[in-house]
Amino acid sequence: MAEMIRTDRRNNQAALAVFVLAAVLMAGILGGLVGARLATGTAAQAAAVAPAAATVDWVKYGSSWQRQYEQQHPTTSDPMVQYGIDWQRQYEQQHPQN
């Protein structure tokens, strides 16, 4: 009798293990499908937005941001800092980006 109970437990445990494994595999497959579907939709939205972002002039944006930052946060008149600013402006004049 005790041997029959042990056998039934092993059979039930094996069936439960197979069921859990099948459920995990199905969840993985469904998750992959849903994830691929969401990624495709997000990529399409990003592609639709990309042409608008490509028209931004980043050099103008950066220059205006730097001017605004320098106005809001004035620095001390350190000669090395001024030398660096002058050097950068001269370099940008000699080597224009666009």
2 vs 47: CA distance, rounded Å = 67
- State the pTM of this model: 0.35
Model confidence over 34-45: pLDDT tens digits?
A: 888 887 776 666
Please say whether the beta carbons of 43 and 37 come within 8 A. Answer: no
* pLDDT recorded at residue 96: 86
* pLDDT recorded at residue 48: 64
Please say whether the beta carbons of 59 and 98 come within 8 A. Answer: yes
What would the two tokens of residue 16 be? 């439960």
* pLDDT recorded at residue 80: 85
Please report how many Cα atoms fall inside a 13 Å half-sphere around the Cα of residue 70, on the Cβ side: 11
* pLDDT recorded at residue 47: 64
Spatial neighbors of 81 by CB under 8 A, at least 6 apart, are 75
Residues of the chain with pLDDT under 50: none
